[in-house]
């Protein structure tokens, strides 16, 4: 029996707040100008929110209004100094990535993963934590004792095939008013137990706010930075992770779009070949359309890649096939980018 851990952060975690701001700004630019080129980075902490990166767009948006709307929706005050340090995309990059050329917006490798553990084709422990995170965000809006910041971790016993058997430690650190801890602790424990019942998973131990107290949170308790939760955003370390973050990047940037495509390919092949798990790697050179390589691995070994898949995985075709100019990226940044 193996012991293995995975983690999620709640929407109010400082890093996740920055991810959501980056993607909310991206959504606003793309809504007015689908040809916008964006790489938006956000850092927050100690009364300031610093926005930098590159944007080339015909859109005119109110950065302050969007940032404050995101903060309000998550449950934070809006009395932050907002510093706009955005520049334009490098013309050197634009040479190979404009709409006429259609090349990849960056070099690198992206991974997609699917497994037969759950109906979502994701690992059981990952789905449990995503479900808890969504519930916590909704419950916080109706329970004044719960505050936005938090994270949760499952340390589980696994079979040789990495199937979750039992949870050894369910660790939850959540921000709260510290006046109603018995009530809120029991509320969270009860929800965790009910979520796990769906998968016939028993919880041996709970670790709730192990330091004993979690009152100060968000940007008052910690700094936040876009793209610092790439493992949470992908597969909780059950699969390999590419080097690039997702949030704040328009879909011409394959860090994001090719990762989404790799996930779709993994799901397709999982079902097509009745696999237990499937992992896809796609790699690119900046400015070139077709991938340098596509590698598909599974519990049955490597799978031969048809040549037509290289054509499907050009940035233009990925954007068209997945309708990437018509989705809400802010929503994808809330609980992890792969939830179904």
d(CA 241, CA 258): 12
The per-residue pLDDT for 168 is 98
Q: Global pTM?
A: 0.95
Q: Give 21 or 91, the one with higher predicted confidence.
A: 21
The tokens for 108 are 């690198």
268 catalytic? Reply is no
pLDDT for 20-53, tens place per residue?
Answer: 999 999 999 999 999 999 999 999 999 999 999 9
The beta strand positions in 88-145, using DSSP E, are 108-115
Q: Catalytic: which of 23, 27, 41, 137?
A: 41
The per-residue pLDDT for 296 is 98
What is the average pLDDT score of the chain? 95
The per-residue pLDDT for 332 is 96
Sign of CA dihedral 156, 334, 324, 227: negative
The per-residue pLDDT for 99 is 59
214 catalytic? Reply is yes
Q: Catalytic: which of 7, 10, 15, 125?
A: 15
**Per-domain residue ranges of the chain:** 2-8+124-219, 16-94, 108-117+242-335
16 catalytic? Reply is yes
The beta strand positions in 16-102, using DSSP E, are 37-45, 48-56, 81-87
The tokens for 15 are 């890093």
Asked if pLDDT for residue 97 goes beyond 60, the answer is no
Q: What is the β-pairing status of strands 224-225 and 37-45?
A: antiparallel
3-state class percentages of the chain: helix first, strand second, coil last, to nearest 5: 35, 25, 40
The per-residue pLDDT for 103 is 80
DSSP for 286-324?
A: TT-SS-SEEEEEETT--BPPPTHHHHHTSHHHHHHHTTT
pLDDT for 274-331, tens place per residue?
Answer: 999 999 999 999 989 999 999 999 999 999 999 999 999 999 999 999 999 999 999 9
Do 2-8+124-219 and 16-94 show the same overall fold?
A: yes
pLDDT band for position 107 (cuts 50, 70, 90): confident
CATH of domain 2-8+124-219: 3.30.300.10
**Section 91-113 average pLDDT:** 73
Asked if pLDDT for residue 157 goes beyond 80, the answer is yes
54 catalytic? Reply is yes
Angle between helices 14-32 and 63-74 (to 10 degrees): 140
The per-residue pLDDT for 101 is 54
Q: Catalytic: which of 249, 267, 332, 337?
A: 249
Q: Which of 62-66, 94-98, 184-188, 199-203 has the lowest mean pLDDT?
A: 94-98
Q: Catalytic: which of 33, 35, 54, 178?
A: 54
Q: What share of the chain has pLDDT > 90, as a percent?
A: 92
Domain 16-94 CATH class label: alpha beta
The per-residue pLDDT for 243 is 80
Number of C-beta neighbours around residue 189 at 10 A: 15
Asked if pLDDT for residue 208 goes beyond 80, the answer is yes
Asked if pLDDT for residue 89 goes beyond 80, the answer is no
Q: What is the β-pairing status of strands 81-87 and 293-298?
A: unpaired
The H or E element that residue 129 is part of is: helix 124-142
Q: Catalytic: which of 37, 140, 147, 151?
A: 151
The tokens for 308 are 């037509």
d(CA 8, CA 149): 12
CATH of 108-117+242-335, one of 3.40.50.970, 2.60.450.10, 3.40.630.30, 3.30.300.10: 3.30.300.10
d(CA 297, CA 280): 6
d(CA 336, CA 332): 6
Q: Catalytic: which of 137, 149, 233, 255?
A: 255
- Whether residue 26 contacts residue 3, with contact meaning beta carbons closer than 8 Å, is answered with no
Q: Catalytic: which of 228, 236, 256, 267?
A: 228
The per-residue pLDDT for 316 is 95
134 catalytic? Reply is no
The H or E element that residue 176 is part of is: strand 164-176
Q: Catalytic: which of 10, 214, 219, 246?
A: 214
The per-residue pLDDT for 105 is 77
Asked if pLDDT for residue 203 goes beyond 70, the answer is yes
d(CA 169, CA 285): 42
pLDDT band for position 56 (cuts 50, 70, 90): very high
The per-residue pLDDT for 79 is 94
Phi, psi of 277 (to 5 degrees): -155, 155
Asked if pLDDT for residue 194 goes beyond 80, the answer is yes
pLDDT for 258-277, tens place per residue?
Answer: 999 999 999 999 999 999 99
d(CA 143, CA 77): 17
Q: Catalytic: which of 7, 10, 11, 13?
A: 13
266 catalytic? Reply is no
The per-residue pLDDT for 224 is 98
């Amino acid at each position: 029996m193996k012991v293995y851990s995975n983690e999620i952060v709640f929407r109010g975690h400082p890093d996740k707040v920055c991810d959501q701001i980056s993607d909310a700004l991206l959504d606003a630019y793309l809504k007015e100008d689908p040809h916008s080129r964006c790489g938006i980075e956000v850092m927050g902490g100690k009364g300031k929110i610093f926005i930098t990166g590159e944007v080339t767009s015909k859109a005119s948006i109110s950065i302050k209004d969007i940032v404050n709307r995101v903060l309000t929706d998550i449950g934070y005050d809006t009395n932050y100094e907002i510093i706009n340090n955005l520049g334009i995309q490098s013309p050197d990059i634009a040479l190979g990535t404009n709409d006429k050329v259609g090349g990849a917006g960056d070099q690198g490798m992206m991974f997609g993963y699917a497994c037969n553990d759950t109906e979502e084709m994701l690992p059981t422990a990952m789905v449990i934590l995503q479900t808890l995170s969504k519930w916590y965000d909704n419950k916080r809006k109706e329970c004044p004792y719960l505050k936005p910041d938090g994270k949760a971790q499952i340390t589980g016993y696994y079979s040789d095939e990495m199937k979750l058997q039992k949870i050894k430690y369910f660790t939850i650190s959540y921000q709260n008013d510290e006046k109603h801890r018995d009530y809120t602790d029991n509320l969270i424990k009860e929800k965790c137990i009910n979520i796990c019942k769906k998968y016939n998973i028993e919880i041996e131990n709970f670790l709730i706010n192990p330091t004993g107290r979690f009152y100060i949170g968000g940007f008052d308790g910690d700094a936040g930075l876009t793209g610092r939760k790439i493992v949470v955003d992908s597969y909780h370390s059950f699969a390999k992770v590419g080097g690039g973050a997702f949030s704040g990047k328009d879909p011409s940037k394959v860090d994001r779009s090719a990762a989404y495509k790799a996930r779709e390919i993994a799901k397709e092949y999982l079902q097509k070949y009745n696999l237990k798990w499937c992992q896809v790697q796609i790699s690119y050179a900046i400015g070139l359309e077709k991938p340098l390589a596509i590698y598909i691995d599974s519990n049955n070994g490597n799978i031969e890649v048809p040549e037509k898949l290289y054509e499907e995985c050009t940035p233009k075709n990925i954007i068209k096939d997945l309708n990437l100019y018509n989705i809400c990226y802010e929503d994808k940044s809330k609980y992890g980018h792969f939830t179904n």
